[in-house]
């Protein structure tokens, strides 16, 4: 928007203006890239949000953004027609029952990356369609579950062809899929740069259909009991990459007459270390898929300043705070003493338990919302009656405003800890519920027969690729590499 505004103001009108516009047009992509990079690093987030909302085509980093900026140059198509490309087969686990999709390089823009306003602007300015067509296309994409433009049967054929010439439906590619006997679906998605991420769809007997999605490729937090934490951090996911994970599950459910009811950010990554993209995805889950804020849960390892930021969202009731102050927050705790927590969760060195609990109390006081605490039960480490009593004492200041989800730890290749016994689980829950009055429940485990725990499928897939000399895994960064 900034570059386009500069272009129009500088170029002016008339013959001289026309010559200048043509000259600028040849270098407009570079100009947009420079200004876009400056905006993403210098401008305040609120400023960028305002810029985006006031323009039909806003700047974001990457090649697709350059194409959007080029649309401001008179006479230039948006985006350019795709060039022919040969399919490159992915040699990942092709011999198993799970099909690996071929990869097809493409210059098509991702239609899911457009807001409804941007889509409307493109349809009017480039395809010369009436304004109401944007609502029709939007409904097909997000409510009616279209998997192709051809399925949009009430649109003119010329419009469907025009959309197919310029756009693709998403950028996630199913590299692997497993279906559990309990109905849980786990997928490994390959991104455009070859990175893998995981997402899980969990059906429950009470009718809930919950998607567990990733916010980063890998994770920098280094939790020793987590398979993803053992892999390290690769990169942040974009808003559309995060949103599309839930959208694809929603689309599949729509085909079967069901709907996606809940989303939890408990896949790969630390959501609050990528909060701008995560919060953007939260807005789209609410606006485009109709998922209520109270049915969206953001999990965190305990980044105390970020928890306080979420609490302060109540200060913006007319803006995004109205939504963010209503989402659920889950804090991964897993230990009651700093020494034990630091041993399994390195983040505790930076934000020890006392600081974390102070931030949690601040959140509850400001939002009047209940917090959830996640507790992975590890046999012989944090499943004793003594630890249960310590946890009850630690959470007593939040009594009435907190809940504990207890789940047996998932065994992983890099962690020797084992799940607690049923007797230990029952005793632990009873102490919290009966002795301390802290609501605690055992979280239902799903997909046990397909290793549905975070990072397990990805680890298996990467191992197969390496063993067959296929795509190499990207070397993980150190835990300190993660930065928003």
Among the options 118, 198, 241, 268, which is catalytic? 198
| CA distance linking residue 182 with residue 295, whole number of Å | 22
The 8-class DSSP code of residue 434 comes to: I
Three-class SS of residue 89? coil
Q: Establish whether 454 is a catalytic residue.
A: yes
Three-class SS of residue 235? strand
The C-alpha angle 95, 98, 102, rounded to 5 degrees, equals: 80
The C-alpha angle 289, 294, 297, rounded to 5 degrees, equals: 85
Going from the C-alpha of 454 to that of each of 268, 410, 444, the distances in angstroms are 7, 9, 15
The C-alpha angle 62, 63, 67, rounded to 5 degrees, equals: 125
Dihedrals φ, ψ of 255, to 5°?
-60, -30
Beta strands 233-236 and 196-203 are: unpaired
Among the options 171, 223, 402, 454, which is catalytic? 454
Going from the C-alpha of 409 to that of each of 132, 151, 155, 212, 375, the distances in angstroms are 51, 43, 50, 17, 9
Q: Establish whether 374 is a catalytic residue.
A: no
Q: Measure the CA dihedral 465/471/473/474, to 10°.
A: -170
Interior/surface letters 47-86, b for 16+ CB within 10 angstroms, e for the rest = ebbebbeebbbbbbeeebbbbbbbbbbeeeebbeebeeee
The answer to whether 122 touches 56, Cβ cutoff 8 Å, is yes
Residue 23 half-sphere exposure toward CB, CA atoms < 13 A? 9
The C-alpha angle 288, 484, 51, rounded to 5 degrees, equals: 55
β-strand partners of 236: 216
Structure tokens that stand for 192 in this block:
């455009």
CA gyration radius, the chain: 24
| CA distance linking residue 236 with residue 448, whole number of Å | 28
Phi-psi category of residue 424: left, alpha or beta, with phi > 0 → left and psi -120 to 50 → alpha: alpha
Active site members: 198, 454
């Amino acid at each position: 928007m900034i570059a386009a505004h500069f272009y129009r103001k500088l170029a002016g009108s008339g013959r001289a203006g026309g010559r200048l516009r043509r000259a600028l047009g040849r270098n407009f992509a570079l100009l947009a890239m420079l200004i876009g990079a400056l905006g993403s690093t210098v401008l305040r987030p609120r400023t960028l949000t305002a810029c985006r909302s006031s323009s039909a085509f806003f700047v974001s980093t990457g090649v697709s953004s350059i194409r959007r900026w080029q649309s401001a140059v008179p006479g230039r198509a948006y985006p350019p027609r795709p060039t022919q490309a040969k399919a490159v087969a992915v040699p990942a686990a092709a011999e198993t029952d799970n099909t690996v999709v071929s990869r097809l390089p493409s210059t098509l823009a991702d239609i899911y990356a457009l807001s409804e306003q941007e889509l409307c602007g493109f349809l009017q300015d480039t395809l010369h369609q009436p304004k109401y067509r944007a609502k029709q296309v939007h409904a097909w994409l997000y409510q009616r579950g279209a998997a192709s433009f051809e399925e949009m049967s009430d649109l003119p054929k010329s419009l469907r062809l025009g959309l197919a010439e310029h756009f693709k439906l998403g950028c996630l590619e199913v590299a692997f899929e497993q279906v559990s006997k309990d109905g849980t679906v786990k997928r490994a998605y390959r991104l455009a740069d070859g990175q893998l991420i995981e997402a899980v769809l969990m059906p429950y007997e009470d009718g809930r259909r919950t998607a567990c999605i990733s916010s980063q490729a890998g994770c920098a937090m280094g939790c020793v009991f987590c398979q993803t934490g053992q892999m390290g951090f690769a990169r942040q996911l974009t808003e559309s990459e995060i949103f599309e994970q839930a959208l694809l599950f929603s689309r599949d459910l729509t085909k079967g007459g069901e709907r996606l009811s809940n989303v939890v950010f408990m896949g790969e990554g630390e959501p609050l270390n990528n909060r701008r993209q995560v919060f953007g995805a939260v807005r789209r889950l609410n606006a485009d898929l109709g998922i209520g804020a109270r049915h969206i849960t953001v999990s965190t390892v305990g980044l105390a300043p970020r928890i306080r930021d979420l609490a302060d969202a109540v200060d913006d009731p007319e803006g995004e705070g109205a939504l963010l102050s209503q989402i659920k927050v889950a804090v991964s705790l897993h230990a009651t003493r700093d020494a034990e927590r630091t041993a399994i969760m390195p983040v505790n060195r930076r934000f020890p338990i006392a600081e974390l609990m102070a931030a949690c109390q601040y959140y509850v006081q400001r939002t009047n919302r209940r917090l959830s605490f996640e507790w992975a039960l590890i046999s012989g480490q944090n499943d004793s009656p003594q630890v249960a009593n310590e946890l009850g004492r630690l959470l007593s200041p939040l009594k009435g405003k907190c809940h504990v989800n207890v789940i047996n730890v998932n065994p992983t290749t890099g962690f020797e800890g084992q799940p607690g016994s049923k007797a230990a689980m029952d005793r632990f829950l009873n102490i919290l519920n009966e002795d301390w009055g802290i609501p605690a429940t055992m979280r239902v485990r799903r997909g046990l027969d397909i290793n549905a725990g975070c990072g397990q499928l990805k680890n298996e897939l990467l191992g197969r690729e390496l063993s067959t000399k296929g795509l190499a895994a990207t070397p993980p960064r150190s835990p300190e590499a993660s930065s928003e």
